Structure 1
Amino acid sequence: MSILVVGLSHRSAPVSLLERASLTTDSQIKLVQDTLAAEPATEAAILATCNRIELYADVDKFHAGVAELSTLLAQHSGVGLDELTPYLYVHYEDRAVHHLFSVACGLDSMVVGEGQVLGQIKDALALGQELHSAGRLLNDLFQQALRVGKRAHSETGIDRAGQSLVTFGLEQLAAGTAVESWAKDRRALVIGAGSMSSLAAATLARVGVREIVVANRTPARADRLVEILNQQHGPLRHRSAAADAAPGVSARAVDMSALDAELPRADVVVSCTGSTGLVLTADAVEAAAHGRRTPLALLDLAMPRDIDAAAHRLGGVRFVDIETLAEASADAPMATDVDQVRTIVSDEVAAFGAAQRAAHITPTVVALRAMAADVVSSEVARLEARLPDLDEKQRAEVTRTVRRVVDKLLHAPTVRVKQLASEPGGAGYADALRELFDLDPQTVAAVSRADLNDTDGVGRGRV
């Protein structure tokens, strides 16, 4: 079996197509379930972010797998296969592993080095485990991707190579002015209370806005975010010895129905909801921007978009969206740390491949040792029948001796075959072992099935 990924991202497709192809949570679940039901796939997982949709599967046939996964992506995204196909990319086996590890490290992000994708990979793994669609291979792959991403961020300065989409977006709005100076004393409206909106609110509080209003369809989530903001960034009740201590931010929650009233009061608006329709129309933005002394700053991080694209053409508005960020980040300087991360990724891909190849031979080795144990038991039983006068102590010593002999004879070959199997091109050693020792293929398959059935118990504790 082999890892296959079929997907599209900001690197392969225009933002307008990504917008149309975006998947709801229910659509992601159905896509994973349908992939698992398809003939070429035995495992499946979906990684869906604001700027990528990737379907991972463990397949036994490459061409059939590509055709099936592409068709399923088209069906569930609502974009015709003929229109979608030119923008799809395909990675297989080691290249698929390399791709996911690069994504986990932020090398494939719109803004190089951003770390939010790690949370999205973790969510993809959790969904695969919840649906029981991620078996041994994809569990191992996604958990290792999380470890590689964390290693890249802890061992290198990849964080300096780029900022999160929120920070980068605010820098674009500030247009060359330091974000802290630009944001000072401004009023902010954050639409949505999910992970990206929460990050935006925390970032705005950190850079010095005076007030944050959170609007969300679920009041409890908005209230919770406001509570956190006031606890962590609220006004200082007791000013420190430093005369210029920051006054902190005042946060409050409102219902989505209050947007029309809050929009004209805001200086900066950040929107990232899961809505499938527009949250802010061009007319609403134009009315809010009318008569302002400074431009109304809009940052749309949603996919599909929350704010009408026509807002780009309005006077008194500075508008940055995912498409704008994609264009701006193409010219962002690459830090030297990127080379270090690429080295880490290459090393980890090689290690993952070696571990998977070694694991591939394990059922055969286990079956060999099981056969040897059966031979020992059979021969000890025959000996006991021929020498019935042996006492318990003698019988136990003979049994231990025979087992030690068999273990010593098998030790070096099994250790060596695992080493050989872990090397590139080592897949054939399992077949050779089965042939040499005339192992029952059904026994080997039974060991493999038992190993796969244990996935739920082993996978989750390692994230």
Structure 2
Amino acid sequence: MSLLVVGLSHRSAPVSVLESAALSEDAKAKLLQDTLAAEPAAEAAILGTCNRIELYADVDKFHAGVAELSTLLSQHSGVGLDELTPHLYVHYEDRAVHHLFSVACGLDSMVVGEGQILGQIKDALLLGQELHTAGRVLNDLFQQALRVGKRAHSETGIDKAGQSLVTFGLAELAKGIDADAGDLGDRRALVVGAGSMSSLAAATLARAGVTEIVVANRTQDRAERLAASVGGRAVPFTEVHAELAGTDIVVSCTGATGLVLDKDAVVTALAARTSPLPLGLLDLAMPRDVDGAVHDVDGAHLVDIEDLAAAAADEPMAADVDAVRRIVSAEIAAFGAAQRAARITPTVVALRTMAADVVASELARLDGRLPDLDDRQRAEITQAVRRVVDKLLHAPTVRVKQLAGEPGGAGYADALRELFDLDPQAVAAVSRADTGDPKRDRA
């Protein structure tokens, strides 16, 4: 089996395509289940954020895997395969590992160096674990990616080079609302949504000195909890339009499939406002919450994902990026060696199991030929035979694991199976138990 990732992001697709391809939580779950049911895939995980959708799988056939994963992404996103394919990228084996590690470090983010992607990778892993679609391969990969991302942020200055998408978006919004002030203090804010992005936005607004924060969410309990955490107040989702007139800043990030704020709602709110400053709207949702036509409304300043992509085009400090790339390269080499070594483990276990069976058989035969042995003598003979076998197997099994961890070392497992005439079914059984094969677990 080999690791494959098929996906699209802000680097490969325009915002309009990303918006159309965005997946709800239910759609992600169904996509994972259907991927696992597909013939080429043994494991699956999906990383979906506001600017990327990536499907990871452990597959036994590359071309069939690419075709199947691409088709599934098209079916579940509702974007035609002909429209989607030109924007898809494919990474395989080491390149797939390199891609996820780079993503975890913020090197592939819209705002290079932002750390929120780590939480999104963790969520992707948790979903795969909850649905039993992630086995040993993807568990190892995603957990290592989280460690690599944390290492990059702790050992380099990549945090200074980039910001979270929320922080960056609010900074861009502040410039548009009041170029002279350049900040968000003494404003009233409306946060629409109560997920992780909205929570981060509310906390950031509170630290910026916003006078009042109002939270609206479809689930009232979540709105009240978020509002309480920042000293604000919660309102029903149905009152979003009514709150606009008394608001200076709107941050929206919901999972809605349709618009939350259309052009007419913004125009109506502007007619009732008394503030001379523009109404600032930051739309972090994918698909979008705020009608793009609001860009053309006088008195409103909209910043959305497309605007952020353009504003974040400049590279951050080259030295920090280079330092993170070196970490990624080293971690890829270490991960690859560990995975190659792990692949030979089922063969080594099967060999030792076979040796133990031979020892047990010969000791039973000895009991039949020498029935007068007392318990002490029998124990001494048993220990001696097992010790001889262990010593004979120790050096070759340790060495074969070392050799298997090197590039091109995959053939050592085949050689070991051939030399000792190991039963392929026995090796496969150990492998399934060792990897926690999701397909086996769901059978």
**TM-fit CA distance, 1:431:** 0.5
Cα shift readout 1:304-350 (whole Å, capped 9, x = no counterpart): 11111011111112211000000110125335222111111111111
The corresponding residue for 1:208 is 209
Distance in 1 between residues matched to 2:180 and 2:81, nearest whole Å: 43
Counterpart of 2:307 (choices 305, 312, 324) is 324
Question: Does the Cα contact within 8 Å between 2:135 and 2:437 map onto a contact in 1?
Answer: no
Give the 5 Å matches for 1:103-182.
103-175=103-175, 182=183
Gaps of 5+ in 1: 231-250, 457-463
Alignment of 1:405-424 (within 5 A): 405-424=388-407
- Secondary structure of 1:167's match? helix
| Structure 1 counterpart of 2:385, from 391, 402, 409 | 402
**TM-score normalised according to structure 2 size:** 0.95
Distance 1:313 1:47 in 2: 33
Aligned amino acid, residue 214 of structure 2: V
2:70 maps to a residue whose letter is: S
**Which residue of structure 1 aligns with residue 90 of structure 2?**
90
1:252 aligns with 2:253: no
Alignment of 1:367 onto 2:350: yes
Query: Equivalent residue for 2:261?
Result: 280
Amino acid paired to 1:223: E
CA contact (8 A) 1:179 1:207 kept: no
Give the Cα–Cα distance (whole angstroms) in 2 for the partners of residues 118 and 346 of structure 1: 18
CA shift for structure 1 position 382: 2.6
Gaps (5+ residues) in structure 2? none
Q: Secondary structure at the residue paired with 2:303?
A: strand
Counterpart code for 2:262: T
Deviations 1:215-247 (A, max 9, x none): 1111111100111112xxxxxxxxxxxxxxxxx
Structure-to-structure mapping, 1:30-45, within 5 angstroms: 30-45=30-45
Tell me how far apart the structure 2 counterparts of residues 220 and 73 of structure 1 sit (CA, whole Å): 33
Look up the equivalent residue of 2:170 and give its one-letter code. L
Percent same amino acid among aligned pairs? Answer: 78
Q: CA deviation at 1:180?
A: 8.4
CA-based RMSD: 1.7
One-letter amino acid of the counterpart of residue 339, structure 2 = Q
Supply the distance in 2 between the matched residues of 1:258 and 1:353 (Cα, whole angstroms): 53
Distance 1:334 1:15, change over 3 A: farther
Query: Equivalent residue for 1:381?
Result: 364
The question of 1:220 aligning with 2:221 is answered: yes
Number of the residue aligned with 2:6: 6
CA contact (8 A) 1:170 1:179 kept: no
The separation in 2 between residues aligned to 1:454 and 1:297, in whole angstroms, is 50
Does residue 26 of the first structure (1) align with residue 26 of the second (2)?
yes
Q: CA distance change for structure 1 residues 252 and 179 in 2, over 3 Å: closer, same or farther? A: farther
1:433 to 406, 416, 435: 416
Question: Which residue type is aligned with residue 267 of structure 1?
Answer: D
Aligned to 2:294: 311
- Within the alignment, does 1:347 sit opposite 2:330 as a pair? yes
Partners of 2:179 and 2:318 lie apart in 1 by 20
Partner SS state of residue 371, structure 2: coil
Change (3 A) 1:101 1:317: same
Contact 2:112–2:316 (CA under 8 A) maintained in structure 1: no
Distance (whole Å) between structure 2 residues aligned to residue 218 and residue 383 of structure 1 = 73
Match of 2:252 in 1: 271
Name the amino acid aligned to 1:265.
G
SS in 1 for 2:234: strand
**1:386 is matched by which residue type in structure 2?**
R
Displacement of 1:453 in angstroms is 3.6
| Alignment-mate amino acid for residue 415 of structure 1 | V
Residue aligned with 2:19, SS: helix
CA distance in 1, matches of 2:87, 2:389: 57
Aligned pair count reads 436
Contact 1:158 1:335 in 2 (8 A): no
Aligned equivalent of 2:57 = 57
- Range that drifts further, 370-379 or 268-277: 370-379
CA distance in 2, matches of 1:316, 1:226: 27
